[in-house]
Structure 1
Amino acid sequence: MENRINGDDLLAAGYKQGRILGEALKAAAALQHLSREEALALLLKVKDYPENFLDDEKLEALATAMIEEMNKPADTTIALVTEKKEYAVYGKEYIEEGAGKQMAVAMQLPVTAAGALMPDAHQGYGLPIGGVLATRNAVIPYGVGVDIGCRMALSVFDIPADAFYANEAKYKRELIAHTKFGAGAGFHGQYKADHGVLDSDTFNITPFIKQLHDKAASQLGSSGGGNHFVEWGIIEFEERDEALNIEKGKYLALLSHSGSRGMGATIAGYYTRLAKDLCRLPKEAANLAWLDMDSEAGQEYWLAMNLAGDYASACHEVIHRKLTAAIGARVLAKVENHHNFAWKEIWNGEEVIVHRKGATPAGKDVMGIIPGSMTAPGFLVRGLGNEAAINSASHGAGRQMSRTKAIEQISKKDMQAVLKENGVTLIGAGLDEAPMAYKDINQVMGAQQELVKVVAKFEPKIVRMADDGSRED
């Protein structure tokens, strides 16, 4: 007797396409001695009560497969939004394809409200460097970045340019004496700095944050590797600036760039792993895992991120305080701004979390600093509050060459020639930070005239970076 049960019969009986349907067809073939009706009735029972057939020699395989399928962990992957969301791009001709692809994926997150790509953008980890992303009630650790609160700080002194040129050796000596660079670098004993940020109650919110205190204390006032720097330069105001109360002219200035050191990197790593456990996304978006702001983890990260931002600011304050005292100068104005951070802001009438990964806040009349490279000028700017750009601008020139490519293609001789041509003294740095590895800052600034207004131009003169160009760990 042949019961001739086929796949359509099994689908009509409630079986689903896939492995189970295949096992059911095998079971049907093993029941050829039964009538079609008897076999179908039996297969229906197996579907509804598989545990009753685990000891049945002809139906055991089907029953086992069905129980395994029922006990398989549910797929909790969060689907990306398929509807295409537009985002503003500035200086598109200067932005590599990889950065655009990363931004497009970020725009597909179900929590995304808006996005923008700055003209210095290049591919990063998760959100591209130069990417701005506004989300609803969610914070993305890798949307902030590893070096949480990385920032620029500028001090303008009451010392005219001529006085600097007459005493360059002194300024070089003091820069070396009062700065420290490199991954893991820090201070010990009597050389350790002090700052109120170390007394913050936020260090006590969790055992994890508390155990970072000693590292933070030892690294306070130091700078990391990679593109972090402290430099003397000449800043020129072509007209009097009323808000800063600075007259037209050229002044000595100190510019620094670094972040929250090992503490920030450790916080970033910990909460990114937690976000990935709690928020499962498709492979292409995995590094954009977020923490809900209403969750305990989200609130913890928010507090830790802000602590890291305050700590980064304190590091700059210590550096500028030491060097100001060393040269016996008076500060005429000080400007600083974070990048690699997230803010609660009102955008398009709603509260959003704005992630600026390698992007400068540029709300209406907000001051910021956009550096070029060790030989290219930097710019003191005032934000124009462009909503399409989510009130943001670039955080620098941006890389046009990867670190590996720079080391392969740029010689020490080439780098020294560019430094000499621009009258820059360099202390430290590797070939991966050579000026030629960066985009043309003038093109980048030209692409964001809708975003910021230039207030003054800064020309680097004595630049200190990590001796080997090492990056923060």
Structure 2
Amino acid sequence: MGNHKIRGKDLKIINYKTNRAKSLAIDIMSMHYKHISKIEKLNVLKAVKNNPNEYLDDPILGVLADEFAEKEQLKAKEEIQLLRGSGDFKVFGRKHISSNAYRQMELAMSLPIAEKGALMPDAHMGYGLPIGAVLATKNAVIPYGVGVDIGCRMSLSVFDIQPEYLKRNRYQFKMALKEKTYFGSGGSLNIQQQHEVLDRQEFGYTPLLKQLHSKAVQQLGTSGSGNHFVEFGEVELQENNDLGMPEGKYLGLLSHSGSRGFGAAIARHYTGLARNQCLLPRQAQHFAWLDMNSDEGQEYWLSMNLAGDYAKACHDQIHLNLSKHLGIEAIARVENHHNFAWKEAGLTGEELIVHRKGATPAAKGELGIIPGSMATDGYIVRGKGESSGLFSASHGAGRKMSRAQARNSYTNSALKKVLSSQGVTLIGGGVDEAPIAYKDLNEVMASQKDLVDIIGKFTPKMVIMDKG
């Protein structure tokens, strides 16, 4: 696969001049186009550069197209003006957050619909809102503020089994992960599956949802690429853990993924509608919103919630398929979305739309999971309901290196040594997801003590990801 990688010198040949355009191109190709040849990748990149306006609504290539598109003269409608100054927003762990992510949040807070905002300590630059951002708006929903992977979430099953059981049955657990999970775009598990979400009436409410039903059926119980994973490991619960379980160590199953191609198609469709209706300056076009009183706004809200429930159903099936295959049964479950929007009235007394783009809900008493990396501990947390943080917390450690940077500064052999030292078995995955690419989760957690209490820990021991 090495000969298929896009490098800076390749981009220079096709007249990619700025460092940002080159970085975006390398990251997008490595994450979303890794299974095509270098020539095909370069053809895609040339097409985006030569005809950027045709790709502005694409959920993957749109951010790259923005680098080349000339600002259109808006005649039919008046361009919406940003506020002159950015509204205030609370930042947790500023020393962990890059300046470009901070500037993205400043831009978001200059939207006329922005009411409140917060940046979590794992925040880093994203498409539209930074990853790790929380934005509350009035009567408007931003599709890109939710993200392409609608309802991306964490799910943890805890078994009344000692962690040593995994060591004694290592082969069986490894084969279960290989045979009962699927990662990457397209494809399916090729087993008969049923879930009540597939029978929901909402699938008949819009032409788009009708069209996407077959995709939802096909991809049920599968996972995406990038940082999505399924892993077995050790759960260590503290006293008063809210799970009704004694303090101690248990076997755990943790998964991370979202609504697959179903959610991505919804995001792409309604982002396009928002950008056509909400004419923002070029630098803010990814913040285009839908009025909640409009038909389009109501359609997106219904579709987003269905995609969120579908993401949960995928996790349900992952945990069911693996547990059933291994003959084990969970006695507790903790789960949470982190790419979603909620209607909440607790911040100001009036209903606001709270977008959490890579942020964990942390209302008072609410449980969630904040993972580390493939070889570092994650945490089970209980929210403190801190209003300055918009009842939120980080959704992980947060990246400190792009995928391209990680691949260029780390080797497979170095990754294997780290995994071996931590007693972790990795199936698939790659150096772009190596622990070195992430911030130190313990430092991140120290920066959000006002947001959550730690009630347990998860230590990964057997991890499966996309091949990378």
TM-score by structure 2 length? Answer: 0.83
Aligned to 1:76: 78
Deviations 1:299-325 (Å, cap 9, x if unpaired)? 000000001000000000001011111
2:161 is equivalent to residue 159 of structure 1: yes
Matches within 5 A, 1:382-461: 382-461=382-461
Matches within 5 A, 1:347-386: 347-386=347-386
Give, as a single letter, the amino acid of the residue that structure 1 aligns with 2:315. H
Q: Which runs of 5+ in 2 are unaligned?
A: 1-73
Deviations 1:210-264 (Å, cap 9, x if unpaired)? 10011110000001100000000001013253x3111111100000000000011
Deviations 1:98-156 (Å, cap 9, x if unpaired)? 11010000001111110000000000011000000000000000000000000000000
Give, as a single letter, the amino acid of the residue that structure 2 aligns with 1:344. K
2:324 is equivalent to residue 325 of structure 1: yes
Partner secondary structure for residue 148 of structure 2: coil
Say which one has the larger Rg. 1
Aligned to 1:62: none
2:251 is equivalent to residue 252 of structure 1: yes
Partner secondary structure for residue 224 of structure 1: coil
Give, as a single letter, the amino acid of the residue that structure 2 aligns with 1:313. K
Partner secondary structure for residue 301 of structure 2: helix
Is contact 1:185–1:224 with CA below 8 Å preserved after alignment? no
Aligned-pair CA distance for 1:74: 4.7
Aligned to 1:216: 216
Give, as a single letter, the amino acid of the residue that structure 2 aligns with 1:395. H
Matches within 5 A, 1:47-446: 73-188=75-190, 191-241=191-241, 243-346=242-345, 347-446=347-446
Question: Aligned equivalents of 1:290 and 1:84: distance in 2?
Answer: 18
Is contact 1:91–1:448 with CA below 8 Å preserved after alignment? yes
Aligned-pair CA distance for 1:206: 1.2
Give, as a single letter, the amino acid of the residue that structure 1 aligns with 2:262. M
Aligned-pair CA distance for 1:187: 3.4
Question: Aligned equivalents of 1:331 and 1:215: distance in 2?
Answer: 29
Aligned-pair CA distance for 1:205: 1.3
Give, as a single letter, the amino acid of the residue that structure 1 aligns with 2:166. F
Is contact 2:240–2:455 with CA below 8 Å preserved after alignment? no
Is contact 1:192–1:217 with CA below 8 Å preserved after alignment? no
Give, as a single letter, the amino acid of the residue that structure 2 aligns with 1:163. Y
Is contact 1:192–1:218 with CA below 8 Å preserved after alignment? no
Runs of 4+ aligned residues of structure 1 deviating over 3 Å after TM superposition are none
Give, as a single letter, the amino acid of the residue that structure 2 aligns with 1:363. A
Aligned-pair CA distance for 1:174: 1.4
Aligned-pair CA distance for 1:275: 0.2
Question: Aligned equivalents of 1:464 and 1:83: distance in 2?
Answer: 45
Is contact 2:237–2:248 with CA below 8 Å preserved after alignment? yes
Question: Aligned equivalents of 1:407 and 1:185: distance in 2?
Answer: 26
Is contact 1:150–1:257 with CA below 8 Å preserved after alignment? yes
Give, as a single letter, the amino acid of the residue that structure 2 aligns with 1:94. H
Aligned to 1:36: none
Deviations 1:318-351 (Å, cap 9, x if unpaired)? 0101111122223121011001100000122111
Aligned to 1:44: none
Give, as a single letter, the amino acid of the residue that structure 1 aligns with 2:109. M
Question: Aligned equivalents of 2:250 and 2:325: distance in 1?
Answer: 17
Question: Aligned equivalents of 1:390 and 1:379: distance in 2?
Answer: 20
Is contact 2:86–2:107 with CA below 8 Å preserved after alignment? no
Is contact 1:90–1:118 with CA below 8 Å preserved after alignment? yes
Question: Aligned equivalents of 2:201 and 2:329: distance in 1?
Answer: 33
Partner secondary structure for residue 124 of structure 1: coil
Question: Aligned equivalents of 2:192 and 2:223: distance in 1?
Answer: 14
Give, as a single letter, the amino acid of the residue that structure 1 aligns with 2:107. V
Is contact 1:227–1:465 with CA below 8 Å preserved after alignment? yes
